[in-house]
Amino acid sequence: MTRFACLFALVVLVATWATGCPLPKNKNAPPPSVNLTNVPIHHWSKEGSPILYIQPVPSSASPALFAIRLHSNPTTGYTWLPAAKTLDGGIKPRASLSIQYMDCIYEPTRPVLLGSGGHDTFLYTIEPSATAGSLANLELVYQRPWIPQDEATDFQLAQIEVVLVAV
């Protein structure tokens, strides 16, 4: 019985670790044909600034890209999810800046060791028609997904304000 319990726990742990970002890709968004090294990335932390200033490429007809990177360790059972009452990708309703969630990419730390964690990178686009001064708010919650958000007592909240600045 002890071997079975250990094997079962190991299978659950590996399955949780392998899943990474829980959010599905946005089926309406164009596939990201961009290398993340060219995308402005905001590394969120509790101690850092909650405001992300985005400067789009001038006279570009394609949407501007940006990413939010958060520390994550799915082996603990915790994962980043959109906060309750938000749209796809954690976007709060009634934003003056039109952004769209594209994808979430989990990147394990190197070397990849069981339980070592990594980062979830959420990729978003900004519509080319957006004007300077427009803003949007993102809310993501780091919690165990099987516990309803209104009942969770042990969680972390990432609130990020995205502001489009003039070129």
Q: How far is CA 4 from CA 39, 63, 95, 112, in A?
A: 46, 51, 51, 26
* pLDDT one-digit tens code per residue, 130-147: 788 888 888 888 988 888
Model pTM?
Answer: 0.72
Alpha carbon 97 to its chain centroid, in Å, reads 18
Protein fold of 2-164: Immunoglobulin-like (2.60.40)
* pLDDT one-digit tens code per residue, 46-93: 777 788 887 766 656 667 788 888 999 988 888 888 887 777 778 787
Residue ranges covered by each domain of the chain: 2-164
Q: Is the preceding peptide bond at 111 cis, omega within 30 degrees of 0?
A: yes
Q: What is the pLDDT of residue 10?
A: 47
d(CA 7, CA 47) in angstroms, rounded, equals: 39
